[in-house]
Amino acid sequence: MEKIIWDESFSVGIQEIDEQHKELVRMINKLIGREDISVDSETISDILNEMTQYAGYHFQTEEQYMIEYDYPDYLSHKKQHTEFKKKTVAFCLDTMSYKETIPKEILTYLKTWLVHHILKVDMKYKSFFKEKGLR
């Protein structure tokens, strides 16, 4: 699977958020890099767990800004974050039963979700926060 390549089209115009997104991309790329490598289920679970925790931290940052600036789509955005968190926690539990490689459907889900979420969902707040003076 091709790794995610970060470019300026991913930028939401807020440095702190961009850095967090880059870290999430780095984590997913790390999983993609191990796609064909035989690793034990504990290692897979550890990487996934680390990514899930970082995603939770990132979502919290975004949601705090949304509350602070009264972002109109806060609830629907938060709902997407919650769904992703539920899904990745389930993946973490599932991986304990895998013995060899990271299942493709997990990688596909993580990659597709993150790219779509940043480019289509997060991007909706770009002009809103810009108008509020957030950089």
Among 48, 51, 62, 134, which residue sits at the site for ligand FEO (rule: CB under 6 A)?
62
**According to DSSP H, which parts of the chain are helical?**
15-33, 41-68, 74-95, 104-116, 126-131
Name the burial class of residue 75, with classes exposed (0-12), middle (13-18) and buried (19+) by CB atoms within 10 angstroms of its CB.
exposed
Residue among 51, 122, 129, 134 that touches ligand FEO (CB under 6 A): 122
C-alpha distances out from residue 111 to 66, 72, 130, Å: 24, 27, 27
Taking CB under 6 A as the binding criterion, the range among 3-11, 67-75, 87-95, 115-123 that sits at the site for ligand FEO is: 115-123
Residue 21 Cβ vs ligand FEO, minimum distance, rounded to whole Å: 6
Min separation Cβ 72 and ligand FEO, Å: 15
Kindly list the residues in this chain that would bind ligand FEO in the complex (CB under 6 A).
21, 58-59, 62, 77, 81, 117-118, 121-122
